Structures are given as C-alpha cells and as structure tokens.
Structure 1
Amino acid sequence: MTDKHIDDVSGVATTGHEWDGIRELDNPMPRWWLWTFYATIVWAIAYTVAYPAWPLLTSATKGVLNYSSRGEIKQEMAAAGAAQEKYLAAIQSKTVAEIDADEKLREFASAAGAATFRVNCVQCHGSGAQGSPGFPNLNDDEWLWGGSAEQIYKTITHGIRFADDSDTHTSEMPPFGDVLNAGQITDVSIYVASLSGPVSDASRVADGAKVYTDNCAACHGGDARGNRDLGAPNLTDAIWLYGSGERAIAAQVRAPKNGVMPAWGARLGDVKVKELSVYVHSLGGGE
C-alpha cells in the first residue's frame, strides 16, 4: 500500500489527489454533518414506509398511512362543492336582478360567470369581451336588445335568430338592394354616416335623409337612435357592428348581415345562465 502524502504545514494526510499543485486535506467530516446525514436516511426510509413510494409492476406501495393525493383533492373538491350549495340554491331561486342586488351573491355569481364566459363566449366576443366585427363589444353601453341584467339574461337564454328556440329575438333587417337604386343607397349611406362624423359629399345628406325617413325610420326611429324591441341599432353614435364608413353602411343597406347567437339556456342550464348574465352585466356597460 502506498504511503499517504502528509501535508507539511498541517501534518494532516491528503486525499492523494492534486489539482494544479493543490492537494486536499483528508480531514474527517464534522460530527453534526454526519448525524444530519444519517437522520435524512432514517427519514427517507420512514417516509417510504408511511406513504406511497415504491413502484411495482402495476401499482405502487400504498404506505401504512394509506394516504392518497387524489383522495385528498377529492375531499377538498367535495368540501368546496358543499360550501357552494347555499349560493347555487339562492341563484336558482332568485331573479337576476335580485342576485345583482345581493353583494355576496353577486360576487359569487360574477366569478362563476367569468369562468363560464371563458369557456363558451370568448370565441366570438373575445377574451376581454371587446367583441369583433359582427360580434358586439360587451364592455360599452350600446345594447341592441337592452342592457339591464334581466334583458341580458333573456338574450343569453334564448339567443338571437336561433331557429331552435321559439322565444329567440327574431327581427331582421331586410335587404334594400332590390328596393332602392344605387343612387338612393349612396344617399342614405351618406346621411347615416353624417350622423356620427364627416362625409364625402354633404350635398347628398338631405336626399339621404328623405330616403331614410321613407325606408328606415320605422325600425331605427325618426331620430335614428334605434329600437331595442326590434334589435335596431342606434345610428347616431360611432359604434358599428359590421364596419364603419359610407361603403360599409351601403353594403349593409344593400345586403344586410343578420348575425345569429345560440340560445344558451338549454345548453348551460338556468343557474349558469344567471351567473353569466351577472358577469356580463358587471363588465361596465350593463344598465
């Protein structure tokens, strides 16, 4: 056996390894470190005995405590469900307006409605409910069918122009391409555009106003502020569902787009629809 190298300064044997002329002293490990290390070994053995640990062919050891993380989650979910029961029962029995008037119930319903919105509504209305061409922005205060909590509830429940629901909102804007000539469509488009901004030819506004009165006022109103009973939008603001500007307005007059919203009542159930209604109403544009 080769004699160990002894350090000249400390008189302690070295490990025999050398790095760039530097040798490591072969001092024993501190007692406290050794006892800590032994304790971790004992702890590890005890842990594998108490809890599921060792893999087998088709399962694993269950441990003497018979602990299961899945079982713990299941219990927690059951406890959470039991805590929600009183709120769900209250939502079931109350109207949307009553839910909205109760601070705690409104908070619960809004949180649940937000989750339902993220699963079912963001595809059309956007993750922030800001909408997109053809799909309304739910954050503003412009509502085709009414923005009260109860009106929102009705719209979500029965949808818009949804053929499978007899109580759905059904009115549609008729196409005027076969009723008005090209000049009249241009005139009325200029007039409607003038209600919320500058136009290309102000001299045609008066003629457009006459075309509007004869063909459009019955639904949109003489003041062009719309009619919620018919789902006819306000034409005096700068909010446009299918695009702004004279060309977009003319296209809508000539061959209108009439969007469809599904009836969610049968799909989601009354409780979830109420929660969703409270959430949408809380976004900022609810009346």
Structure 2
Amino acid sequence: MPEKHIDEISGVETTGHEWDGIRELNNPMPRWWVYTFYATILWAIGYAIAYPAIPMITSATKGYLGFSSRAELQQDLDHAKVAQAQFQEMIATKSVQEIDADATLREFAIAGGASAFKVNCAPCHGSGATGGPGFPNLNDDDWLWGGDLDAIQTTIAHGVRYDTDPDTHVSEMPAFAEILDLDQTRQVAAYVWSLTNKPSNPALAEAGKQIFMDNCAACHGDDAKGKAEMGAPNLADAIWLKGRGEDAIVRQVMSPKHGVMPAWQGRLGDTAVKQLTVFVHSLGGGR
C-alpha cells in the first residue's frame, strides 16, 4: 500500500493526483452539505412525482396531486366574478348620475371602465385618451356632442355616423367647394384662424368674417363656439381635430372629413357602457 503524502504547508493529506508537480489536497465536502445535496435530489424526485413536471410530446406528466395552475387561476377569476357581481347588478339598475354620486360604485365603475377603454377605445383615442389627428382628446373640455354624463353615455352607446344604429349622432358639414370660390374659402379660413392665432393676412380675415356669418354661423354660432346639439365644433378654443393652420382649414372647408365612431351598446352591453361613461367623465374634461 503506497505511503500517504501529506502537504508540507497545509498539513493536509493529498489525493495522490499530481499535475506538473501540483498536488490536489484531499478536502472532502462537509457531511452536512453532502446530506443537504442528497435531500434536494430526493425533493426534486418527489416534486416531479407530485406535480406536473416532466415534459412529454404534446403535454406533461399531470402529477400525483393533479395540480393545475390554469385551474387555480380560473378559480381565482370565478371568485373575483362572484365578488364583482353585486356591483355589476347595482350598476345595471342605476343611472350614470346615481353611479357617479355613490363613491364605492364610482370607484368600481372607473376601474371597470378603464379596462374596457384599453381594450376597445385606446386604438383610436390612445392609451391615455389624448386622441390624435382625427380622434378627439377626451381629457380636455372640447366636446362635439356634449360632455355631461348623459351626453357621453349617448355617444358611447350609439356612436357617431354609425349606419347600423338608428339613434347614432349624425351631422354633415357641407362641402363648401361647391358654394364658395377659392378666394372666399381662404378668407373664411383666415378669419377662423384669427380667432385663436395671428392670421397670415389680417385683410383676408376681416373679409372672411362676413362669409363666416353668412355660411358657417348657423352651425358654429355667431361666436364660433359651436353647438353640441349639432355636433359642430368650437372654432374659438385653439383645439383642432382635423389639422392646424389656414391651409388645413381651407381643405376642411372645401372637402370636409367626417369621422365615424362605432356604437358600443350592442357590443359591450349597458353595464360596460355605463362604466365607460363614468371613466371618461372622470378624466377631467367632462362637465
């Protein structure tokens, strides 16, 4: 039996292995560590038996306990729906004014409306409801069809220029290219722009005032502040839906663009529409 070699510096026995004069000290792992390692192996085997763990071709082993994270999630969802049911029933039987006046219902409606908004409304109005070119900002005070709770509910429920809903909002701005010549159109555009900005030519704006009174005031009002009952926008608040500047106004006057909003009543139901109404109204711009 070969004689054991003891390292002169550390006094520890070596394993007998040597590489280019370098010997390996025989320092085995502590017993407690080794036993812990064996325990983790046993734990892993037990876990693989008890829970779904081993992947198969189209599925995985189901485990002795039959646990399913998907089933657990479904149970949580079912419990949440039961908890929400009482609030849903109350919202279904109350008006939007009553919902808004009840602090608990209002909080629930805003939360539900925010979720419905992200799924159904954000693609057009943006995740923050700030809108974009051709899509209204729902955070400001500019409301084409009225910004109180009833008006917002009607707009969401029946949409705007949505052909399949008989109660949808309908308004059409005439194409003034058939009524006004180009010079007159530039004059009225300069006047409208002058209501909130400096016109390119004050003389054009002055001439355009009478053209506005003769052709536009019937819908937009003598003060150009619009009429919600007609869906006519306020032209004196520096908020522009279809584009800014005199050239953009000229294009809109000559050949108007008309947006379309779906009617959500049939798609989402009365309760979701009420929640959306309270949420949109809560953004700050609602009256």
Normalised by the length of structure 1, the TM-score is 0.92
Which residue of 2 is the match for residue 247 of structure 1? 247
Deviation of the 1:21 alpha carbon:
5.7
Aligned partner letter, 1:196 = T
Which residue of 2 is the match for residue 183 of structure 1? 183
Which residue of 2 is the match for residue 38 of structure 1? 38
Structure 2 vs 1, CA of residues 180 and 78 (structure 1 numbering), >3 Å: closer, same or farther? same
Structure 2 vs 1, CA of residues 23 and 216 (structure 1 numbering), >3 Å: closer, same or farther? same
Deviation of the 1:219 alpha carbon:
0.6
Distance in 1, Cα, partners of 2:181 & 2:232 = 23
Distance in 1, Cα, partners of 2:217 & 2:191 = 13
Which residue of 2 is the match for residue 261 of structure 1? 261
SS where residue 48 of structure 1 aligns?
helix
Distance in 2, Cα, partners of 1:110 & 1:19 = 73
Deviation of the 1:269 alpha carbon:
1.2
Deviation of the 1:157 alpha carbon:
0.7
Distance in 1, Cα, partners of 2:200 & 2:45 = 84
Deviation of the 1:277 alpha carbon:
1.5
Distance in 2, Cα, partners of 1:132 & 1:62 = 50
Aligned partner letter, 1:107 = E
Which residue of 1 is the match for residue 152 of structure 2? 152
Structure 2 vs 1, CA of residues 278 and 30 (structure 1 numbering), >3 Å: closer, same or farther? same
Alignment of 1:25-64 (within 5 A): 25-55=25-55, 60-64=60-64
- After alignment, is 14-23 or 132-141 more displaced? 14-23
Unaligned runs of 5+ in 2: none
CA RMSD of aligned residues (A): 2.1
Deviation of the 1:238 alpha carbon:
0.5
Distance in 2, Cα, partners of 1:107 & 1:21 = 77
Deviation of the 1:93 alpha carbon:
1.2
- After alignment, is 271-280 or 79-88 more displaced? 271-280
SS where residue 24 of structure 1 aligns?
strand
Unaligned runs of 5+ in 1: none
Structure 2 vs 1, CA of residues 238 and 27 (structure 1 numbering), >3 Å: closer, same or farther? same
Normalised by the length of structure 2, the TM-score is 0.92
- After alignment, is 35-44 or 19-28 more displaced? 19-28
Residues 125-183 of structure 1, C-alpha deviations (whole Å, 9 max, x = no match): 12221111111111111100011122111101101111111101111111111111222
Aligned partner letter, 2:255 = A
Structure 2 vs 1, CA of residues 264 and 13 (structure 1 numbering), >3 Å: closer, same or farther? same
Alignment of 1:105-184 (within 5 A): 105-184=105-184
Aligned partner letter, 2:100 = D
Distance in 2, Cα, partners of 1:209 & 1:222 = 10
1:275 and 2:275 aligned: yes
Distance in 2, Cα, partners of 1:59 & 1:176 = 66
SS where residue 229 of structure 2 aligns?
coil
Distance in 1, Cα, partners of 2:153 & 2:17 = 80
Structure 2 vs 1, CA of residues 232 and 2 (structure 1 numbering), >3 Å: closer, same or farther? farther
Distance in 2, Cα, partners of 1:61 & 1:225 = 69
Which residue of 2 is the match for residue 225 of structure 1? 225
Which residue of 2 is the match for residue 93 of structure 1? 93
Deviation of the 1:273 alpha carbon:
1.4
Residues 30-59 of structure 1, C-alpha deviations (whole Å, 9 max, x = no match): 122122123223322332333233455665
Deviation of the 1:66 alpha carbon:
2.6
Residues 65-114 of structure 1, C-alpha deviations (whole Å, 9 max, x = no match): 23222221121111111111111111111112222222222222212222
SS where residue 278 of structure 1 aligns?
helix
Deviation of the 1:234 alpha carbon:
0.8
